[in-house]
Amino acid sequence: MLSAKIKDIKIRKKVYTTEVQKNVLKFLFINIISNNTLSANVQSKARFLLSKLLSRSSSKIRITRRCVFTNRGRVSNRKLGISRILLRELLKAGIVPGYSKAVW
């Protein structure tokens, strides 16, 4: 379980750093490179860097939703960021406001 958390943290860091680099390169590509103000060699290097940043491991989709407290990878609530099991325990204790047990 700890290894999954470490892997998730590494992926999140890599996505963050590549997003910043990707935005900078996109800005440069749109404003400088597409205007043909640079030589063909520099343009090809910039295109290569941009394609390298779009690797599979640095994609936002690779980030999985996990429970903040238990690191459970399945069924975590999007709003609260916690798993359904922990949510149920917190609801029983009355810690989470605005929720009540359904009664028919």
- Structural domains of the chain, count: 2
Say whether both 8 and 39 belong to one domain.
yes
Give the whole-angstrom CA distance, residue 104 versus residue 102.
7
pLDDT at position 102 is 76
pLDDT digits (tens, 9 = 90+) for 24-38: 777 777 776 666 666
Say whether both 48 and 13 belong to one domain.
yes
Q: Which of 70, 100, 73, 69 is nearest to 11 (CA)?
A: 73
pLDDT at position 92 is 86
Say whether both 82 and 37 belong to one domain.
no
pLDDT, averaged per 10 consecutive residues of the chain (104 residues), comes to: 77 82 76 67 74 66 79 83 88 82 75
Domain span at 72 = 65-104
Say whether both 59 and 23 belong to one domain.
yes
pTM surpassing 0.85?
no
3-class state of residue 1 by DSSP: coil
Say whether both 59 and 90 belong to one domain.
no
pLDDT at position 23 is 79
pLDDT at position 22 is 77
Give the whole-angstrom CA distance, residue 28 versus residue 50.
10
